[in-house]
Structure 1
Amino acid sequence: MSSTIKLLTPPALSKASKELADRYRAAKPNASALVLGPTGEVGREVVRTLLASGAYSKVVVATRKEIEYTGPNSSSLEQIKVDYENLDEHKTLFEGHDSCFCCLGTTRGKAGKEFFYKVDHDYVMNSAKLLERAGTKNFLLCSAANSNSKSIFYYSKVKGQVENELKDLKFNSLSIFQPAFLECDREELRLGEKFMSYLIPALKVLMPKTIAVSTSTVAKAMVHASLLPEADKPATAVYSNSEIIDFGAKM
């Protein structure tokens, strides 16, 4: 498997979203965004959307793989190799950011129960605590639909646990996005996902905003939320799949 991730052409953004990005850049000309998990399916879309918007003067990605990008605002991209097992060695990585987009995650089936918890809980929470101490104002998390700390399903339970623990931290604004099935061209299509990919088109006829959402739409929703004026950002906001679709359409 290649150690380099190549980002595709940045997405086209609406006139309204460009105006929103321009207003944000004018109000915060030195704003910095940090992306955790930038090489995953949602993470890479977040990076592409951030760079396409030009809203942030610096887009820092904490990555294990090098990202290849030659699109607009490429000079804003800063890549830093990170070892999540030794975050104390990377404390400076978490300093000086206005917003953090957390797209860390794996699956229990792929990683096993222990490593899944380490990535989806420990890596997320350890990073969030460092960001809180460093004064980051906005934390945006890509979680999952049906997350619930009391769920009988381990995946949903851990996702819900993380959401609850994040709410105890003192960010100015915490935005939690709970997408359902993620639609994208996956590098690794697991058996269950392949099966679902055949069902999704039919199910979307019955439930167009409930059953699935594209990774690009999730990214646009996350970036849009980060660009709202501070006065318009709730202390805690949780976006369902249908709300992600509506919010993403604004970008």
Structure 2
Amino acid sequence: MNTTAIRAIITGTTGMVGEGVLHECLQHPHVGAVLIINRKPLGLSHPKLTEIIHTDFFDLSAIESRLKGYNACFFCLGVSSVGMKKQDYYRFTYTLTMNFAETLSRLNTEMDFCYISGAGTDSSEKGRSNWARVKGKTENDLMKLPFRQAYAFRPGFIKPTKGLTKTHKFYKYISWLFPLGRALYPDGFCTLKELGLAMIESVSKGYPKKVISGKDIIKLAKEAS
């Protein structure tokens, strides 16, 4: 169990998932400080919050000194494979993530790294789906880095948190699916609040599984609340 206050680095807070995870961290008593790294300002002020504006996630040398002293990373930065060339998807999913993680693992030896992956990710790296293979390779190689712990979170359908601003517009048309999906297939349906709480809980108390599915997310969130 990690009894130290969480000092978290969060990426991707200009997107829906990252914004939701940040929202939970700023409210949670176990989180003492949050550093966000964005290409453009988020426009949010909070006593726990520090923001770095940095445009090139493939080269972190200019900000390395500001990345020390943290014990958690909630990596919520990601791109969709739809309409993207395979080499570009690999670069922005695998290469970028690994560069960021390798830097943090070198600077912070007691860090837990939580990676937002996705349901259907292919741990074997040999399946037919390119995005699933790339995500699987990313998960596998993250877990080889010298973090205290590394977790891969695999949510399916994520119900947005009401009141946040980065929610994808199409969710308002499909939100009615959530109660039915949750009842029939709970492993594939979680809320954004549950996802954020689950990530905090995994860092606070640890978890025996390194690949964390929808049911695990729900379980961790209940233990956190």
TM-score (norm 1): 0.76
Identify if the C-alpha distance between structure 1 residues 202 and 54 changes in structure 2 by more than 3 Å, giving closer, same or farther: closer
Q: Report the equivalent of 2:153.
A: 177
Q: Report the equivalent of 1:214.
A: 191
Structure 1 distance, partners of 2:84, 2:167, is 16
Deviation (angstroms), 1:112:
4.7
> What is the SS of the residue equivalent to 1:75?
coil
Gaps of 5+ in 1: 1-19
Q: Report the equivalent of 2:168.
A: 188
Identify if the C-alpha distance between structure 1 residues 194 and 52 changes in structure 2 by more than 3 Å, giving closer, same or farther: closer
Q: Identity percentage over the alignment?
A: 26
Q: Report the equivalent of 2:52.
A: 80
Q: Report the equivalent of 2:119.
A: 145
Aligned-residue RMSD, C-alpha: 2.6
Aligned positions of 1:97-116 closer than 5 A: 97-109=70-82, 111-116=84-89
Gaps of 5+ in 2: none
Q: Report the equivalent of 1:92.
A: 65
Q: Report the equivalent of 2:142.
A: 166
Which of 8, 24, 39 in structure 2 is aligned with 1:49? 24
Answer whether contact 1:218 1:248 (CA < 8 A) is retained: yes
TM-superposition CA deviations, 1:30-83 (whole Å, max 9, x none): x5211121222221111111111132332100112322335xxx2110000122
Identify if the C-alpha distance between structure 1 residues 47 and 115 changes in structure 2 by more than 3 Å, giving closer, same or farther: same
Q: What is the letter of the counterpart of residue 219 of structure 2? A: D
Structure 2 distance, partners of 1:141, 1:67, is 21
Q: What is the letter of the counterpart of residue 102 of structure 1? A: F
Q: Say which is worse superposed, 50-59 or 165-174, in terms of deviation.
A: 50-59
Q: What is the letter of the counterpart of residue 170 of structure 1? A: P
Q: Report the equivalent of 1:58.
A: 33
Answer whether contact 1:200 1:211 (CA < 8 A) is retained: no
| Equivalences, count | 216
Which of 199, 202, 206 in structure 2 is aligned with 1:225? 202
Greater helix proportion: 1
Deviation (angstroms), 1:233:
5.2
Identify if the C-alpha distance between structure 1 residues 156 and 194 changes in structure 2 by more than 3 Å, giving closer, same or farther: farther
TM-score (norm 2): 0.84
Answer whether contact 2:182 2:190 (CA < 8 A) is retained: no
Structure 2 distance, partners of 1:200, 1:57, is 32
Deviation (angstroms), 1:114:
3.7
Structure 2 distance, partners of 1:152, 1:93, is 40
Answer whether contact 1:104 1:119 (CA < 8 A) is retained: no
Q: Report the equivalent of 1:203.
A: 181
Deviation (angstroms), 1:182:
1.9
Answer whether contact 2:7 2:70 (CA < 8 A) is retained: yes
Structure 1 distance, partners of 2:140, 2:13, is 23
